[in-house]
């Protein structure tokens, strides 16, 4: 079983549970819309907080789905079959991360500009918003696979997963938000994008290996 076969399998399963992705996107939209009710509709204030709100709510929405990355396969025995297949567990973990990005993070990326419209984000921020999310959301998916693998089978795994993942994804949140703020202020954004790209490349190398090691431990 190759990487594409794993991704196709995960996408077929996701289509059967399309409601899960819908709930995550709805959480993202509703959580972002709540902020104006709390702080008021003043346009300058909303535009100033827009980058932080979008990235924070996107992060929280993505975390809702991390626990389900491996748990269904673990409970029905499919994970053991995947472990016995010719494909290494590192490839399985990478395939899970790619499928998670396609079914969860990509819809959030598409919805983000719509949220930005509500917050009246200056037009200079839109291209950078898309670029930061294109670079940052795959990192969230990759780190999420590690957290999901480490907490597999644990009691109250969702709480533990949040405690493990949140500190690791803070750099993505920082550079994603700072890049948009820099674009709005007229400063260079290349440094922020390079940091996000570095985080993505590092996660792409480390996350599948770490997730595979955690999966082997859970299956022993």
Query: What are the domain boundaries of the chain?
Result: 3-219
The DSSP string of 66-119 is GGGTTHHHHHHTHHHHHHHSSS-HHHHHHHHHHHHIIIIIHHHHHHHHHHHHHT
For residues 59 and 140, the answer to whether their CB atoms sit within 8 Å is: yes
What is the Cα 81 distance to its own chain's centre?
26
pLDDT on residue 1: 59
- CB-based burial of residue 198 (10 Å sphere; 0-12 exposed, 13-18 middle, 19+ buried)? middle
- Per the CB < 8 A criterion, the answer to whether 62 and 136 are in contact is no
Length of the chain: 220
pLDDT of residue 105: 92
For residue 54, what pLDDT is reported?
95
Which parts of the chain register pLDDT below 70? 1, 156-157
Q: How many CB atoms lie within 10 A of CB 170?
A: 11
DSSP alpha helices (H): ranges in the chain?
Answer: 3-16, 18-39, 43-63, 71-76, 78-84, 89-100, 106-118, 125-150, 157-185, 190-219
For residue 185, what pLDDT is reported? 93
What does the pLDDT read at residue 157? 65
Q: Which of 6, 17, 21 is nearest to 78 (CA)?
A: 6
Q: Which positions ≥6 away from 202 have C-beta within 8 Å?
A: none
Tell me which residue of 160, 164, 152 sits closest to 215, measured CA to CA: 152
């Amino acid at each position: 079983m190759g990487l594409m076969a794993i991704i196709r399998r995960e996408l077929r399963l996701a289509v059967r549970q399309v409601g899960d992705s819908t709930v995550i996107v709805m959480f993202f939209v509703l959580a972002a819309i709540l902020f104006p009710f709390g702080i008021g509709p003043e346009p300058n204030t909303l535009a100033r907080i827009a980058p932080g709100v979008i990235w924070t709510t996107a992060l929280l929405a993505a975390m809702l789905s991390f626990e389900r990355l491996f748990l269904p396969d673990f409970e029905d025995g499919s994970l053991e079959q995947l472990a016995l297949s010719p494909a290494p567990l590192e490839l399985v973990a990478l395939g899970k991360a790619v499928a998670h990005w396609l079914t969860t993070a990509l819809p959030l990326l598409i919805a983000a500009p719509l949220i930005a419209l509500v917050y009246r984000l200056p037009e200079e921020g839109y291209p950078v918003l898309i670029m930061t999310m294109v670079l940052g959301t795959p990192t969230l998916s990759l780190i999420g696979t590690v957290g999901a693998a480490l907490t597999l089978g644990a009691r109250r795994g969702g709480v533990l997963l949040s405690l493990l993942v949140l500190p690791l994804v803070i750099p993505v949140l920082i550079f994603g938000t700072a890049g948009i703020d820099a674009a709005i202020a007229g400063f260079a954004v290349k440094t922020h994008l390079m940091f996000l790209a570095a985080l993505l490349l590092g996660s792409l190398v480390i996350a599948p290996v770490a997730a595979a090691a955690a999966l082997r431990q859970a299956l022993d």
